[in-house]
Amino acid sequence: MVTIADVARHAGVAPSTVSYVLTGKRSISPQTRTKVRESIRLLGYHPHAGARALATSRANVVALVLPLRHGVHLPVVMRFVTAAVTTARRHDMDVLLVTADQGAQGLRRVAGSAQVDGFLVMDVELDDDRVPLLRQIAQPSVLIGRPAAVKGLTCVDLDFEAAGARCVDHLADLGHRYIGFLGAPSVVYQRNTGYAQRTMAGFGAAAMRRGIASTALPAEDDYESVLASVRSLLRTQPAMTALVVHNEAALGWVAGSLRALGRRVPDDVAVVAICPDELAEQMQLTSVQLPAEELGRQAMELLVARLNGHPAAPVTLLPPKLSGRASTAPRLRRA
């Protein structure tokens, strides 16, 4: 391995001078600078990351903690990952992959060994057992998702309340007055999953605000259950002309269920989904997107900022974006 001493010898200067050329922390005469640069190039010198980490107590690596639970939409995770990595690289940082199955234990290990300078934790739930740990450790962290208590944390999330509301507004603007909501499986609401509850809340509040009748039900992810839920919605509210679906797994069965119950999309019932854009595109559904790239980028930027000592707001919410597609159409005024 070629060391800084080799470079120094080759350039006829002291090792410290080489270091200063590299870091720019002291003024160096143009002559020596170019001489050193040349030696570095010639010898193919790369600073030893470990040595540097030891000397500076900075690893220039951040940990990316990924969920691998069954049920997370993998393409979205990947999108997020690439955005995060790209952003990290732009700040000369590398990314260490930590899987959520390693748990709080794994985080403690990585943090304790000073392998990373910070953490980016995806898929944080309302009551996440990693949060207390993240508060303890020396390294700053940024969370994707929003736990119950965000004090002292830095969280980034899609504004799910606004997303739910956005769906209502879109449908209301089209003339719909009776709207249904098909949510995640009931277990998702049972374990405290923030985004599901928040979407519901936003949906409900918006409907009230616009004077619209709304009904909500969870949906399991098989055809029979979806059919049952949709039937139940229609029975409760026979005049229902629009449906908001916040359940990726159920999405595939919604149109079929409606059809089976004698309703066509969008003529009889309009559908708006809250889901990854590619799914919506594939099924030609009007949808509110899950902005994976934007989340990844933002989260990493915030983390880098915190690493550089800048403060950050506890919560950053991304505004929802709605893309109109074939599953909603202007509602004709009825008699």
x/- binding map, residues 27-46, to DNA, per CB under 7 A? xxx-xxx-----------xx
Cβ proximity to DNA, 16 vs 186, nearer residue: 16
- For helices 248-260 and 223-236, the axis angle rounded to 10 degrees is 60
Distance of alpha carbon 286 from the chain centroid: 21
What burial class does residue 50 get, using C-beta atoms within 10 Å of its C-beta: 0-12 exposed, 13-18 middle, 19+ buried? exposed
Instruction: Give the shortest CB-309-to-DNA separation in angstroms.
Output: 14
Helices (H), the chain: 4-11, 15-23, 30-43, 49-56, 74-90, 103-112, 130-136, 160-173, 186-190, 194-209, 223-236, 248-260, 277-283, 292-307
For 176, list phi and psi in degrees, rounded to 5.
-75, 140
Whether 273 contacts 286, CB under 8 Å = yes
Instruction: Give the shortest CB-301-to-its own copies separation in angstroms.
Output: 17
Place of tokens 């709207």: 179
Indicate whether 316 belongs to the interface with DNA (CB under 7 A).
no
With CB under 7 A as the contact rule, which of the stretches 25-33, 146-154, 286-294, 322-330 interacts with DNA? Answer: 25-33
Cα 203 from Cα 268, distance rounded (Å):
21
Indicate whether 4 belongs to the interface with DNA (CB under 7 A).
yes
Binding site for its own copies (CB under 8 A): 1, 44-54, 57, 59, 61, 64, 68, 74-75, 77-79, 81-82, 85-86, 89, 94-99, 101-102, 106, 108-110, 112-115, 138
> How many residues in the shown chain lie near DNA by CB under 7 A?
33
Cβ proximity to its own copies, 43 vs 329, nearer residue: 43
Residue 307's binding partner among DNA, its own copies, none (Cβ under 5 to 8 angstroms by kind) is: none
Instruction: Give the shortest CB-34-to-DNA separation in angstroms.
Output: 10
Tokens of 118: 């910070």
List residues binding DNA (CB under 7 A): 1, 3-5, 12-20, 22-23, 25-29, 31-33, 45-48, 51-52, 54-57
